[in-house]
Structure formats: structure tokens, C-alpha cells
Amino acid sequence: MTTPLRLGIAGLGTVGTGLIKIVQTNGDLLARRAGRAVEIVAVCARSRTRNRGVDISGYAWEDDPVALARRPDIDVVVELMGGENGPAKALTEAAIAAGKHVVSANKALLAIHGQALAEAAEAQGVSLRYEAAVAGGIPVIKSLAEGLAGNRITRIKGVMNGTCNYILTRMEDAGLPYDTVFEEANQLGYLEADPTLDVGGIDAAHKLTLLSAIAFGVRPDFDAIALEGIQRISIEDIRAAADLGLRIKLLGVAQMTGRGLEQSMTPCLVPADSPLGQLKGGTNMIVIEGDAVDQIILRGPGAGEGPTASAVIGDVIDIARGFHMPVFGQPAATLDVAVSAKAMGSKPWYLRMGLMDKPGALAKVAEALGNAGVSINRMRQYGHQDTRAPVLIITHKTTRDAIDHAVDLSMKTGVVVGEPVALAIEED
Amino acid sequence: MTTPLRLGIAGLGTVGTGLIKIVQTNGDLLARRAGRAVEIVAVCARSRTRNRGVDISGYAWEDDPVALARRPDIDVVVELMGGENGPAKALTEAAIAAGKHVVSANKALLAIHGQALAEAAEAQGVSLRYEAAVAGGIPVIKSLAEGLAGNRITRIKGVMNGTCNYILTRMEDAGLPYDTVFEEANQLGYLEADPTLDVGGIDAAHKLTLLSAIAFGVRPDFDAIALEGIQRISIEDIRAAADLGLRIKLLGVAQMTGRGLEQSMTPCLVPADSPLGQLKGGTNMIVIEGDAVDQIILRGPGAGEGPTASAVIGDVIDIARGFHMPVFGQPAATLDVAVSAKAMGSKPWYLRMGLMDKPGALAKVAEALGNAGVSINRMRQYGHQDTRAPVLIITHKTTRDAIDHAVDLSMKTGVVVGEPVALAIEED
């Protein structure tokens, strides 16, 4: 194959700009490694004239993404617009229908419409690759779908949203409350236009949806993930965790159990001295466990111009080399519908609640937990100055269902002030 | 492609046994992911009757590896015999000549004969894959040659020999001398038949040779690596390092500089709280730095039945999927001859030497260092009970050449007892 591979790029934000820089800077290297030249033929974005620090004058311009997708002089459409519907979806569908390979960084689109897009791509015999959609520069899709393809994957866990990890580590390091650090992150431009995508765990859950589909051979199903953001994590939680030798992470966990596939993206406590516990700032980490490989840990930048563009160009080179495989590692038609297990496996839990400062309050809560079948390992009541007594409980191993029940019963005692915080402790 | 992919396995030790287990246990999974069944057709090993815990009665038996390689009913030859020459080399050459794909776990063979084998494989249009040759279950070859292929790689460093890492961490944790822990490792079966392959750094340098070839587009050249084993690391060094907040690792470093490619596999000091510093026991870790991706860290089991077989079967699935690429990521004919830069980049160094306990000894050594252009950052003389005064010196940043020169001049003072230990400090 000595003909160039011709790209059309839709979306010229940070990642699109990074991709153009790589193609312009490392062109010789790409050609040597891909076995053929990689050329950008056409681009499409909201503004043609915005200064991006790269010269796009040599590329054809399209105002309409769908028109870009249909250009006969393009082999691969690179979708860097984002959004689970609208132009990104139209472009991707049009590209596949036109027989183009697609490289996408769009986790939302794939988590929601992945099954239909995979079926369409496989019917057309084109590749749909999305390394950049998960964990930025870390080659985690490749590791999972290819390198570890001989393994029955038993568990995936990881930190997949750098913004949340930045906020949580900054709260601990600076001793600042959530709201202050959230505002800092906003000022620094770390947050999505809709910050709930980040702090609500949605972005990270999109990513986990894709990893789960590959790992467990199930249809991508975003709604099957138990989802909770970091908005209710207080500096008290951070400090209490530290006292226990733990750290709070927005942790994605997916594991196959006898009762089905359990998937969650929730704030969890991990040992402070574990690789996950030591992860600071915007870095991502994915832990993959399989029956043969035991455990692999991948760590790297979860976002940013260079790292995300690195993942995109990796996919492009795969296509240039003629690598072709099903979108989720096995034919989309063979993916199972995930039976989702709502109750997580049995784990210790951290519960923090505020109690009314009156006799018998603690006893009532302890009784409520007992009635829910939740047994207490450790309990601590902190000194306090207002009428709310902060109480911290570490349970013995129990399920999410039991904890939810225990929280319900506790609320019904009438002695709990505000909403309790319940966090699973992921010890291993 | 619905015809099965047919394997012939040469070598039924730990890894071969692990491979058979995966194929027998995860057959359905492999077929779904590979798009075709993966079948073992024939095997070859030293003993036909040894009990390996797996049933090999369904496979054809070959006494002669070369005969296995030439069987017309085999598509892929899996070479798990080891050794840089002899039967492994004959088998690999015969397989390539017969138009078979080869999957190898043989780092020594590839580090020494990789260029010729790559040229032969590429001339025949067959794949030669070797994920299992480097860092066991970690998909590092795939990450580097494929996932990060859009990057100009700037540096690779890592811990690539689990036995050495076990010995060094055990020395620190148990406060035991090298000889004692070496004997323990021997008893535990952690050492190669020729232990110099492990503790002399040769095995790890074979791995670094392969990573360097891919990362920097150079012909694999084992002899270009500055090599030093861990045999001279004493418990005093371990303790002195700990005092400085550092840990000793047998660290591979490959980086392109203005003066050429610098490659070393030597004991180095790394910050104790860094990911490399925290790596315990037999685990491997590879740090990859590229112009786009910044830094990726991969961690996992560096050896063992399951992990190594996981890497082998990953390569087999790639072949089943029809993935084909040059052996070192670009055509072997285009690989550069590495200009090897003997002098390492400028780093701080750790020097430990024993001085005769007499007036002026320290001044003589300090003068020798000055004459070699090595400037001292910190110096510490420890209390001692014999006539040898242990002296520890941390230099300002300097080159390996300058350090070698400083050691030479120090030896010529006549006040140094025994051989000094010089270790580079890899701070970042």
C-alpha cells in the first residue's frame, strides 16, 4: 500500500489542532511506521478564521460535517466535535454509510449509540476506532481489545476523569472545600461547558461503558452504570478518609459476578498508598485484571492536546496499516445484553452523617443499621460546635443494596441532619 | 476468515503450558475475539511424557523443532524454547523460510539476531511478533509500536527484570545482604539457570534492545547498551539510598540525544516515592515518553505462566485478525544503525567508596573528583569500626564519562579500599 491515507477532520478544537501538529511535524515518522503517507485533505469546524496556531490553508474547507464525511477524496473521517447527538452523530453515520473508516474521540456518542454505530460499521466493513475516547493518551482500548484479548477479564477499575481527580487531590492538598476548588477548576478551564459531565461522573461513566463492552463482551449500556458524582464530597470526608489511611477517588468499577455485570462510577475510598491512591491531579489510571495476566496498570495523561491527539493518530496508523477488527473486539451482533447487577459485591462501606445533638440519637442510627443487616466495624463521633454531631461509620463488608436500605432506615429515625454520604471502600 | 488459525508450539515449559491452558479454557472467547478458532495442531519439547498438568494427547508430537516449523498444517509457530542460538534460532529461521508466522517469547534471540530475522520475515511477508519477550504480561510492545506510533519517542525507562527487583526490594525490606537474598531467590526458583542473565542485567538489556529498536527506529544492537548488574550493590548502598529518600533499581534507560542514542541497563537511584521507586517484588514497570503523549506508565507482572502466555496469545490473536506490520514497527531495511553515545546525559551521581583511615584521605579523593571536573553536592563519612572509612558522595550533575574518570583518579590516590560503587540518580 503506497497510496497515502487521506484524512478529513471534523472539529478543530484542542485535539484537532494537536492532530494537525502531529501530522505536520512527524510526517516522515508516520509514513515510515504506517507504511504509507498520512495526509490531511479536508477539515471542518465552526470557525474557519480562528487562529489555532497551525496552518490549515493547505486543506479543503467544509462548512457542513456531513459533506466532509461524504467527500470521495477521504479515506478516514476523524470526529473531534463531541456531543452524543447532533452533528457528531450525523457525521459519523454519514461517514460509515459512505464507506469511510471513522476515528472518534467522542465517548458520549459511543456510549449512547455505540451498538447501532458498531453494527453499521461492521455491515459496511469499515473500522470505527476510539482510543482517544477513553483516558486520553493511555492506549487502554488497544491494551484491552488486543493485547489482553486472550484473557477472560475479571475486573476493570480506574480513575477516568482528570478534572474530578484534580478537584479531589486539590481539596486534600490545600485543605479547601469543594466549592472553592470547583471554582478554581472552572477558572483554570478544566471543566466542560456543562460541568455536570465532569463532576457528576457522566464523562467517566461514558468511558467505563466502552471499556466494559470490550472487556465483558456486552452491548455498551450507559444506563446500566450506577452513577454518583463528587459534588457531595466534603472536606470532612477527605480528612476522615486520610485519618483512615484512605483517599477518595471517583472510581469506575466493572466486574462480572455470578449475578451479572456490576458497573459503577462513584466516589470510593482506596488505600492512600496504593497506585490509585497515589494518583494526583489530572492523571488517569486504569487497572485491568484478567484470568491469565493477573493485573496490569496503565497510567498517563487523561486529556490535553498532545495526549489525546496521540491516541487519535495511533488509531489512524492502525487503519493505515490495514488493521481491522470489530468495534468492541468481537462482532457487535454477538455482544450480550448486559444483565446488570444493581447490588455491588460485598465491600466495607464508609458512612458519614450528621446527627441531632440529643441523647439516644447514635443508638437509633446504630439500630437502623442493624435492622438493615449492616454490621458496624468502627464508629467515631467527632467533636462539634453546632447542633449537628458528625458521625463516621465504617461497616463490615456488605452490599450497596444493604447500605441504601440502612441509609433509608437511618433517615426515618428523624435524628439525621442533612443527607448521609455513603462511599464504598475498594481495598484491593 | 472462518478457517481456524493453526498453531505449532515449540517448548512446553511454564509459558507453553500456560498457553495450552488458555487455548483449552478460553477457546470460545478466543474464537469470538479473533474471528476464527485458534487451534493447537502440534507441539515439540524435550520430554514427551513429563506431567505438565495439561492434556497434550490431542496434539501431534514432533521431536525436532525444525520439523515442527515446516509442518504444512501449521500457520503460526510459537517459539518458547529460549536461547539466543541453537534450536530456537534454527526453528525460527525454518518457520520464516517456510512462510509461517512466528510468535516468540525469546528476547535473547531477537536482541542478538533481530535484524536478520526481521529482514527474513519481511521478505517472506510473515509476521514475527514478540510481546511476551518484554515485560511479561504488559502489552508494552503493542503500546509502543502501535498505540504510541504517532509519537517521536524521547525516552524509555523501566524496570524489566523482576528477579533483580525482587532481590533489591527484599534486601531493603529485610535488611539482608545481597548474597543471602541471592541464595533465597535461587531457592525460590526465581533465577535463570545462568543467574548472570538476571543479576548481570543481560536479560533486562535484551528487552531494552527490543524497545529501543521500536522506539527510535534503530537496528537492535545489544552491544550498544551500557550494562552493569546488581551484584555489587550492598546493603550499605540500599541504606544510604533510603537515607536520601531514594531507592536502587536495575533501571533501563534509552533516550535520543543530540549526540546519539544513549542506552543503559544499570543500577540507578530513583526517588522512593516515585512510581518506579514504589515498585516492589517481581513487578515490571515501563515509562514511555513521547513528544505528543507526554508520559505513559505501564505496570504489571514481568514473568510467570499466565502473564507471559497472555502476551503470547495476544500476538496470536493479532495474527488471526490479519494484523500485519514490520517486526520493529517500520521496515527493517529502514532502521538506522544506532550511533551510540557512550557518555550518558548529565545527571547527579551517587558514589560510595571505602577510604583508608588516615589523615588527608578524604582530601585526596575530593581533589581527584575536582580534577575530573566532578563537583560535589553532598558528602558524608559514616562512623566505622574497621580501618575502612565508608564515604558517600552525591555529585552535581555530570556525565558517566566524567564519573568514570573521577573513579579512575580516585583509585590512583592509593587511599581507596576496594572498588567504588557509582550509581546514576534518575530524578525525573
pLDDT tens readout for residues A229-256: 999 999 999 999 998 999 999 999 999 8
Position B402 scores a pLDDT of 93
Instruction: Give yes or no for residue A27 having a pLDDT over 90.
Output: yes
CA B167 to chain centre: 16
Residue that terminates a domain, selected from B274, B301, B328:
B301
At B119-143, the pLDDT tens digits run 999 999 999 999 999 999 999 999 9
Rounded to the nearest angstrom, the minimum Cα separation between A283 and chain B is 10
The single-letter DSSP state of residue A127 is: -
* Rounded alpha-carbon distances, angstroms, from residue A335 to A69, A123, A331, A425, B69: 28, 15, 7, 31, 36
Residue that terminates a domain, selected from A78, A103, A133:
A133
A102: confidence class by pLDDT, cuts 50, 70, 90: very high
Least Cα distance to B7 among B138, B129, B113, B90 occurs for B129
C-alpha–C-alpha distance, residues A298 and A290, integer Å:
14
C-alpha–C-alpha distance, residues A172 and A239, integer Å:
7
We report the CATH number of the domain holding residue B91 as 3.40.50.720
Name every residue whose Cβ is closer than 8 Å to that of residue B27 and which is 6 or more positions away in sequence.
B37, B38
B258: confidence class by pLDDT, cuts 50, 70, 90: confident
Least confident span in A126-140, A351-365, B216-230: A351-365
Q: Can you give the residue range of the structural domain that contains A38?
A: 5-133
Most B CBs within 10 Å, among A214, A273, A296, to test the B interface = A296
At A159-208, the pLDDT tens digits run 999 999 999 999 999 999 999 999 999 999 888 889 999 999 999 999 99
A341: confidence class by pLDDT, cuts 50, 70, 90: low
- The answer to whether A293 contacts B300, with C-beta atoms less than 8 Å apart, is yes
**Catalytic positions of A, please?**
207
Q: Which residues of B touch A336 (CB under 8 A)?
A: none
The single-letter DSSP state of residue B49 is: S
What residue of B is the nearest CA neighbor of A334? B32
Exposed e or buried b per residue across A96-126, where buried means at least 16 C-beta atoms within 10 angstroms of its C-beta: bbbebbbbbbbbbbbbbbbbebbbbbbebeb
B15 is in an annotated binding site: yes
Instruction: Give yes or no for residue B279 having a pLDDT over 80.
Output: yes
C-alpha–C-alpha distance, residues B194 and B190, integer Å:
11
* Rounded alpha-carbon distances, angstroms, from residue A78 to A181, B253, B294: 34, 35, 22
B37 reaches A (C-beta below 8 A): no
Least confident span in B8-22, B31-45, B375-389: B375-389
Position A343 scores a pLDDT of 59
Which A positions 123-152 lie with beta carbon below 8 A of chain B? Answer: 131, 137-139, 142-143, 146-152
H or E segment to which residue A170 belongs: helix A162-174
Strands across the sheet containing A101-104: A60-62, A38-44, A5-10, A76-79, A101-104, A128-129
Domain shared by A146 and A115, yes or no: no
Name the one residue in this structure whose C-alpha cell is 530513583.
B270
Residue that terminates a domain, selected from A133, A167, A189:
A133
Q: Which residues of A touch B331 (CB under 8 A)?
A: 32, 35
Domain shared by B177 and B289, yes or no: yes
Domain shared by B79 and B211, yes or no: no
B343: confidence class by pLDDT, cuts 50, 70, 90: low
Least Cα distance to B102 among B304, B307, B312, B355 occurs for B312
Helix (H, G, I), strand (E, B) or coil at B22: helix
At B62-75, the pLDDT tens digits run 999 999 999 999 99
A107 is in an annotated binding site: yes
CA B71 to chain centre: 32
A315 lies in some domain: no
We report the CATH number of the domain holding residue A234 as 3.30.360.10
Domain shared by B97 and B223, yes or no: no
CA B393 to chain centre: 29
B84 lies in some domain: yes
B338 lies in some domain: no
Domain shared by B144 and B125, yes or no: no
Name the one residue in this structure whose C-alpha cell is 458512612.
A351
A330 lies in some domain: no
The percent of residues above 70 in pLDDT, for chain B, comes to 99
Which A positions 281-300 lie with beta carbon below 8 A of chain B? Answer: 290-300
At A49-71, the pLDDT tens digits run 999 999 999 999 999 999 999 99
A17 is in an annotated binding site: yes
**How open is the CA angle A263-A266-A268, to the nearest 5 degrees?**
110
Q: Which residues of B touch A25 (CB under 8 A)?
A: 152, 291
Decide the pairing of beta strands B38-44 and B101-104.
unpaired
B251 lies in some domain: yes
Q: Which residues of B touch A299 (CB under 8 A)?
A: 275, 296-299
Position B342 scores a pLDDT of 63
A140: confidence class by pLDDT, cuts 50, 70, 90: very high
The residue length of chain A stands at 428
Least Cα distance to A211 among A286, A283, A282, A147 occurs for A286
More confident residue, B356 or B385: B356
Domain shared by B177 and B123, yes or no: no
Helix (H, G, I), strand (E, B) or coil at B25: helix
Least Cα distance to B16 among B105, B101, B94 occurs for B105
Domain shared by B163 and B67, yes or no: no
Q: How many CB atoms are located within 10 Å of the residue A427 CB? A: 12
We report the CATH number of the domain holding residue A385 as 3.30.70.260
- The answer to whether B147 contacts A142, with C-beta atoms less than 8 Å apart, is yes
Domain shared by A116 and A219, yes or no: no
A272 reaches B (C-beta below 8 A): no
Domain shared by A287 and A149, yes or no: yes
The partner residues of B355 in beta bridges, in order of sequence, read: B389, B416
Domain shared by A19 and A67, yes or no: yes
Q: Are A158 and A368 in contact (CB under 8 A)?
A: no
The percent of residues above 90 in pLDDT, for chain B, comes to 88
Decide the pairing of beta strands B283-290 and B246-257.
unpaired
Q: What is the mean pLDDT of chain B?
A: 94
A358 lies in some domain: yes
As given in the structure block, the three cell numbers for residue A12 are: 478543530
The percent of residues above 90 in pLDDT, for chain A, comes to 88
Q: Which residues of A touch B22 (CB under 8 A)?
A: 150, 292
Rounded to the nearest angstrom, the minimum Cα separation between B13 and chain A is 16
A365 is in an annotated binding site: no
Q: Which of A379-388, B44-53, B74-83 has the highest mean pLDDT?
A: B74-83
Give pairs for A87-93: CB < 8 Å, separation 24+.
Answer: A87/A10, A88/A10, A89/A113, A90/A65, A90/A66, A91/A10, A91/A65, A91/A66, A92/A117, A92/A128, A93/A117, A93/A120
A378 reaches B (C-beta below 8 A): no
Position A380 scores a pLDDT of 86
Rg (alpha carbons) of chain A, rounded to whole number: 24
Instruction: Give yes or no for residue A12 having a pLDDT over 80.
Output: yes
Domain shared by A277 and A362, yes or no: no
For residue B298, which phi and psi values (nearest 5 degrees)? -115, 135
Position B248 scores a pLDDT of 98
Rounded to the nearest angstrom, the minimum Cα separation between A48 and chain B is 25
Give pairs for B180-188: CB < 8 Å, separation 24+.
Answer: none
Least Cα distance to B164 among B130, B137, B202 occurs for B202
Q: What is the mean pLDDT of chain A?
A: 94
Domain shared by B163 and B292, yes or no: yes
A306 lies in some domain: no
Rg (alpha carbons) of chain B, rounded to whole number: 24
B333 lies in some domain: no
Identity of residue B118: A
* Domain total in chain B: 3
